[in-house]
Amino acid sequence: MSGADKSSVEKRRHDYPIVRLLGIIGWTATVLIAAAIPAFYYTFAIRSERQALQIETAYTAKEIQKIVFASPELWEFETVRLLEIVSKRTVEDDEDERAIFNATGKIVIETKSKVPAESIASTAPLFASGFPAGYVQAKRSIRDILWGTAFAGILGLIFGLLNILFFNSFPRRLLKEALTRLSAEKEKTEKTLSSIGDGVMTVDREGRIAYMNPVAEMCTGWRSDEALGRNFKDYYVTRGESERTENEGHAPCTLVSRNGEQRTIEEVWSPIKDKNSVEEGHVIAFRDVTEKRNLERQLQQMQKLESLGVLAGGIAHD
């Protein structure tokens, strides 16, 4: 492949919409993976922690409820027992904070530990014979979950990057190379067809023009961008056609160009078939034989005149 061809191929390598689309899909998947892993982790971890805290708070309230039931007027002063109950926790002190409030919202007792701002809370009511007596509030730090989310985010990024590498290194690269090879072949074919001296057109099975080489453009008077996709009969106007047979030469006919110019051509129609031998269209190859015909006629004329000259010379001699 020449240098110009190579740079052309390189340019084309980045222009394929399907490859761009695959790249967009790859990046989208990467972003989704990078975001989804930490998002899922955070959602489920918070949900699990919240449920656990709700259960613990409800259990704590149940224990306190026994004291409230036994002493509805003085339960708030059972300092030692209440402190003992709220101090029972399943996590470290600095991760959990509990408090008991009475019916007016005043704190009855609270643990000394304080959780950071990043925390979740749960409350459970207390009742004295069916009437509100207060509530228990528990707060739990979610710093561990946030750290876990950050770690999951890093994992997500890693998996996302692996996803991008996979899309770039395998399917996308293979697709790019295949399309590039195909493009190079197409270009080669087009150059070949452009270089030959005959007009070449391809039409599909509906008769729409799929390709015209420069000679066909010159003979018909239509540019390929004007004729592509249109019915060939509107752009390839002939007169005096004989019956067309496949892959055989026809008797000359007249091609009428866009500006009315007439040319004598010899055309060959060849079918295009797929691997199942189903016809997909035709290749029309034609040669401008106008000059040739003119020369033949001139030669014939000269031969006639020559014959007449010989005859006249013979008579004069006599």
CB of 76 to another protein, least distance (A): 8
Extract the runs of DSSP E, i.e. beta strands, from 206-293: 209-212, 237-239, 253-256, 262-273, 279-288
Count CB neighbours of 36 within 10 A: 15
Q: Give the residue carrying structure tokens 């055989």.
A: 248
Nearer to another protein, 72 or 309 (CB): 72
With contacts defined by CB under 8 A, name the span among 81-89, 157-165, 224-232, 268-276 that binds another protein.
Answer: 81-89
151 binds another protein (CB under 8 A): no
Task: Single out the residue of 3, 4, 73, 318 in contact with another protein (rule: CB under 8 A).
Answer: 73
80 binds another protein (CB under 8 A): yes
72 binds another protein (CB under 8 A): no
91 binds another protein (CB under 8 A): no
89 binds another protein (CB under 8 A): no
With contacts defined by CB under 8 A, name the span among 28-36, 75-83, 171-179, 309-317 that binds another protein.
Answer: 75-83
310 binds another protein (CB under 8 A): no
Pairing of strands 119-128, 96-102: unpaired
With contacts defined by CB under 8 A, name the span among 9-17, 70-78, 145-153, 274-282 that binds another protein.
Answer: 70-78
Contact present, 199 and 285 (Cβ < 8 Å): yes
Nearer to another protein, 71 or 242 (CB): 71
Q: How far apart are CA 293 and CA 300, in angstroms?
A: 10
Handedness of CA 164, 168, 169, 174 (dihedral sign): positive
Q: Which DSSP helix (H) or strand (E) runs through 172? A: helix 171-195
With contacts defined by CB under 8 A, name the span among 74-82, 179-187, 236-244, 254-262 that binds another protein.
Answer: 74-82
| 3-class secondary structure, 266 | strand
105 binds another protein (CB under 8 A): no
CB of 155 to another protein, least distance (A): 36
CB of 84 to another protein, least distance (A): 4
Of the CA atoms within 13 Å of residue 101, those in its CB half-sphere come to 12
Handedness of CA 41, 47, 50, 56 (dihedral sign): negative
CA nearest 143: which of 76, 95, 209? 95
CA nearest 64: which of 133, 160, 4, 167? 133
Q: How far apart are CA 125 and CA 105, in angstroms?
A: 12
Interface size with another protein, residues (CB under 8 A):
12
70 binds another protein (CB under 8 A): yes
Nearer to another protein, 64 or 216 (CB): 64
Q: Which residues bind another protein (CB under 8 A)?
A: 70-71, 73-74, 77-81, 83-84, 87
